[in-house]
Amino acid sequence: MRIPSLLFLGAVLQFSAAVCSFADEPGPQPLTWQDCVGLASASNPSLLAAKHDMESARALYYVSLNNFFPSLNLRHSFSRSGDNSGLDPDSWSAGANMSISLLDFGNIKDLKSKKTSLKKAEEVLRQTGVNLRKTLSTAFAELLYAQRKIGLMESIAELRVKNAKMVALQYEGGRESKGNMMRATALADQAKADIEKARLSLRTSQRKLLAAIGQDSLSVAVASGTLSVPERQPEPDIEAVAQNSPDVKVAGYALELSRISLESAQTDAYPTLTATQSLSWTGRQEFPGDRSWGVGLALNLPIFSGGPTSYWQSKSSANQLYLSAKESYRNTLLSTRHSAQNAWTALLSALYDCSLDLEMLSASQQRHSESTIKYLAGRMIFENWETIEQELVNAEKAYLDTLRDTALAQAAWDALKGKTLGEKP
């Protein structure tokens, strides 16, 4: 169970007041996580580009299907020629030609390649959604962190200023040295400067979130939510996580495409069989009456269609590309296994750090409360009291940093698991 610190409580109250006052004024409203997901789904350029690429791959797949249907061509022509025979130089003709490929292994492989390309484009779209979720989760967490840090820095500054005044009174009463009084004043000034630096970091975090959601018109973003510690999940199957990773699946489809390309290179030496039928009319009038027809079968067997060594060189090139794709897939799988294990370890470490830092924060609060009483009673020197106070400040910052690091580790782990943009946190 968490024990809220005095500084954190003050930070939350100050930030809540800032958000409320901000909401009363005309301007951007706080964005929830679902708001960001909706905006990113509709406006993120990378996601929209991936959707267009997928639709293009789908259209090319349907284009390949047409190779298995008959083709029909209509023609209507007129020509005029001249000689000394005195015959009518005008000639009209009309006709229709239909053909269908009965056997073409190239068309089969092309259709298979386009279907695999479509699956790859769909997986790339999923991969883009997964990466976007990670980017958006990171940006959202960092903005929450930046907003909360301003409140924390203001609370620390308030504490430092109050302590500086207290030490100054001790100095005026002859119970404290001038150096210690100057030290307390310097710490108060440093705390005020930290507020300004936190505000600068806030602007950077706002820009990062706006870029993730793909917003051009907005200039300010306010995140609505809290940084919390996620529940620990069961021990995962790293191999299953790696196999389901979008990076591995995209690499798998790339390997499949290279294999199909190798098979297509081999079909260049296979025969093709085509059936044709034609019907035509010719004569001296625009709608001639002399009709003729024809049907046929054409078997084509390429021998040296591209040159004596073209087939073997094309096959060798495709084979080398296939071997390269196999190694790329293996490298992606190995790398993803390591990344998955590393991401899980980082998440667990962050969860342990949250528990430990919260415990240290609770202890620092108690020590600071006790030391302040001792210092005012003259039972503790300034150096020891200031050290304990600095420990409290460091504990407050460390716990906030750990909350942010945990959120970033969770985002990285979700990406390795293949969690897409629309899935719940």
Q: What is the DSSP letter of 284?
A: S
Q: CA dist 71 to 88, 100, 348, Å?
A: 35, 6, 62
Instruction: Tell me the C-alpha distance between 401 and 390, whole Å.
Output: 16
**How many folded domains does the chain comprise?**
1
Q: Please check whether residue 424 lies inside any domain of the structure.
A: no
Report strand pairing: 71-80 vs 290-300: unpaired
Q: Give the contacts of 200 (CB within 8 A, at least 6 positions apart).
A: none
Q: Please check whether residue 323 lies inside any domain of the structure.
A: yes
Write out the H or E segment, with its range, that includes residue 19: helix 6-24
Q: Please check whether residue 425 lies inside any domain of the structure.
A: no
Q: Please check whether residue 141 lies inside any domain of the structure.
A: yes
Query: How far is the first Cα of the chain from the last one, in angstroms, to the nearest whole number?
Result: 22
Q: Please check whether residue 180 lies inside any domain of the structure.
A: yes
> Is the alpha carbon torsion for 371, 372, 373, 375 positive or negative?
positive
Residue keyed to tokens 């710490």: 187
Range(s) of the domain holding residue 155: 6-79+89-417
Q: Please check whether residue 158 lies inside any domain of the structure.
A: yes
**Dihedral (Cα; 359, 364, 367, 373), 10-degree rounding:** -140
pLDDT recorded at residue 92: 84
Q: Please check whether residue 387 lies inside any domain of the structure.
A: yes
The pLDDT profile of the chain, 425 residues, written as one tens digit per residue, is: 333 444 443 443 344 444 444 334 445 678 899 999 998 999 899 999 999 999 999 999 999 998 888 888 988 888 877 666 555 677 888 889 998 888 888 888 889 999 999 999 999 999 999 999 999 999 999 999 999 999 999 988 998 898 899 889 888 888 888 998 998 899 999 999 999 999 999 989 988 999 898 887 666 788 888 888 888 888 899 999 999 999 999 999 999 999 999 988 888 788 888 888 988 888 877 777 788 888 988 888 888 777 777 778 888 998 999 999 999 999 999 999 999 999 999 999 999 999 999 999 999 999 999 998 888 888 888 888 888 988 999 999 999 999 999 999 999 999 999 999 877 76
∠ CA 410-413-418, nearest 5°, is 125
Q: Please check whether residue 423 lies inside any domain of the structure.
A: no
pLDDT recorded at residue 376: 84
Q: What is the DSSP letter of 176?
A: S
Strand order in the sheet with 90-103: 71-80, 90-103, 272-283, 290-300
Q: Are 130 and 420 in contact (CB under 8 A)?
A: yes
Instruction: Tell me the C-alpha distance between 170 and 184, whole Å.
Output: 12
Instruction: Tell me the C-alpha distance between 195 and 159, whole Å.
Output: 13
Spatial CA neighbour of 260 closest among 78, 116, 58: 116
Report the amino acid identity of residue 299: L
Write out the H or E segment, with its range, that includes residue 277: strand 272-283
pLDDT recorded at residue 17: 44
pLDDT recorded at residue 354: 92
pLDDT recorded at residue 83: 63
pLDDT recorded at residue 345: 94
Instruction: Tell me the C-alpha distance between 105 and 124, whole Å.
Output: 28
Residue 273 β-bridge partners = 103, 299
Residue keyed to tokens 């000034």: 189
Q: What is the DSSP letter of 230?
A: P
Q: Domain holding 10: CATH number?
A: 1.20.1600.10
